[in-house]
Structure 1
Amino acid sequence: MKQRLQKLIAVAGLASRRKAEEWIAAGRVTVNGTVAKIGEQADPDRDRILVDGRPLPRPEAPVCLLLYKPIGYVTSRRDPKGRPVVTDLLGKINARLYPVGRLDLNTEGLLLLTNDGDLAWRLSHPRHEVGKTYLVRMQGSLSDESRRKLEAGVLLEDGPTAPAQVSNVRKAGSHTWLELTIHEGRNRQVRRMCEAVGCPVSRLKRIRYAFLDLGTLRPGQCRQLSPAEVARLKAL
């Protein structure tokens, strides 16, 4: 049965749909010897689909892991600078897993990894508005005005953010701790939002993703999601 190429690539676990579209646009995908185009469909049982000259692999059994990413690890499968990457922490798991979104080098906490490109696409797409909650330690105090700005949305260099939810604010010496929930996934978004309202972040930890939390995991540990948890994610 014919399906869109970006979906076939995602289901094969090579990349998300969005990344697969970039590969197609760059001419890295061919179907029966012809360079593919965005929107093209193919039948994996009848057509010869190549990515970078290699046959499209058969889909792996779907795997979805919840990892407690430590500080100092790059959210990627490989790093050109030779820094540790999150897939170094997965031990003997043989599936080709890719991070869902990213946490920057100095951010710790909950990170999902999967070979289910369809699931990764759903969770990453802005229209699904998946909530991501961070424990934030910021320098100084959070004023009422700064809180209102975060909750209304902050104007950043790449445009205004959606409103965030601020909760559990507490002062601790010269710092303030709070929980911040966002529904987007821009680069360094939480840090940039807080900086924009005059409250630089000194520690950042993602503690929840939709209904999932870290539970008893320690930094560097991971667990596989249950079929029921995966089904709930797909229903978001």
Structure 2
Amino acid sequence: MRLQKFMAKSGVASRRKSEKIILEGKVEVNGKIIKELGYKINVNKDIIKVNGKKIEMEKEKKYIIINKPVGYVTTVSDQFNRKTVMDLIPNINLRLYPVGRLDYDTSGLLLLTNDGDLAYKLTHPSHEINKTYIAKVKGIPSKDELNKFRNGLNIENYLTSKAEIEILNKNNNSSILKIVIHEGKNRQVRKMCDKINHPIIKLKRICIGDIKLGDLKEGEYRDLNSKEINYFKKYSKD
């Protein structure tokens, strides 16, 4: 088995993140530091350590969604000692990690799992899973601005894919928008709203594909049911 795949199945991180950890020289196989991506190991014989700690494959697969509040980072740990989403699941002893991310200032639906293969494939660019947000923005977008948003915007040397946007509510100085994208670039929704001159005041993700946040309260989490797990797994088939 390839080293990064073993790490993902052990709940260390997603396969892509595991590759980064390998390149950083933090992984040992039988006492030897390995920096080679694709290095093959014997699952039954080799001893693998990450940052000096032995790892083993997780036998129990866990899938949860959490309603992330504002003020939490979407990482397992944080160098600045900020609160992370892991602080919200202290009673789970398995090594879970987030699939994708939500910004520090964004709340809403986040998937966590120890299924590295699923995490890798769900975040791969080839899988276009819709992500739905509710955004409060400054001002009220015009028809022209809405159409520009829908057709793709030039942001930092890339053109965003076509997106959905509709106005749900209007106030004097702000409006509530429903936004659907299927990309996952850093702070993309915020940058897109900035581009049409309607900066975000508040942003919340309410759906990933068909999986809905529903009435889950901020800071709380729940296990995915079998139907929801199978929904995500259909994306992970090769």
The two structures share one fold, judged by TM-score above 0.5: yes
Query: What runs of 5+ residues in structure 1 fail to find an aligned partner?
Result: none
Tell me what 1:179 maps to: 178
Distance 1:52 1:91 in 2: 22
Report the TM-score when normalising by structure 1: 0.93
Distance 1:144 1:138 in 2: 15
Q: Deviations over 1:190-212 (max 9, x none)?
A: 00111011111111000101111
- 1:90 maps to a residue whose letter is I
Tell me what 2:231 maps to: 232
What count of residue pairs does the alignment treat as equivalent? 234
Tell me what 2:76 maps to: 77
- Tell which deviates more after alignment, 3-12 or 57-66: 57-66
Residue 26 of structure 1: CA displacement?
A: 2.1
Tell me what 1:20 maps to: 18
Secondary structure of residue in 2 paired with 1:126: coil
Distance 1:234 1:186 in 2: 22
**Contact 1:122 / 1:234 at 8 angstroms: preserved in 2?**
no
- Report matched runs for 1:32-181 at 5 Å: 32-36=30-34, 37-181=36-180
Tell me what 1:215 maps to: 214
- Identical-residue share of aligned pairs (%): 42
- Tell which deviates more after alignment, 82-91 or 102-111: 82-91
Distance 2:87 2:21 in 1: 25
Tell me what 1:6 maps to: 4
Report the TM-score when normalising by structure 2: 0.92
Residue 95 of structure 1: CA displacement?
A: 1.2
Distance 1:31 1:76 in 2: 25
Secondary structure of residue in 2 paired with 1:235: helix
Q: Deviations over 1:98-125 (max 9, x none)?
A: 1111111211111111111111111111
Query: What runs of 5+ residues in structure 2 fail to find an aligned partner?
Result: none
Instruction: Give the aligned CA root-mean-square deviation in angstroms.
Output: 1.6
Q: 1:202 to 1:6 in 2, by over 3 A?
A: same
Distance 1:141 1:223 in 2: 36
Q: 1:170 to 1:27 in 2, by over 3 A?
A: same
Q: 1:158 to 1:118 in 2, by over 3 A?
A: farther
**Contact 2:206 / 2:214 at 8 angstroms: preserved in 1?**
no
- 2:2 maps to a residue whose letter is R
Distance 2:177 2:44 in 1: 52
Distance 2:45 2:82 in 1: 41
**Contact 1:126 / 1:183 at 8 angstroms: preserved in 2?**
no
**Contact 1:129 / 1:184 at 8 angstroms: preserved in 2?**
yes
Distance 2:49 2:78 in 1: 25
Secondary structure of residue in 2 paired with 1:133: strand
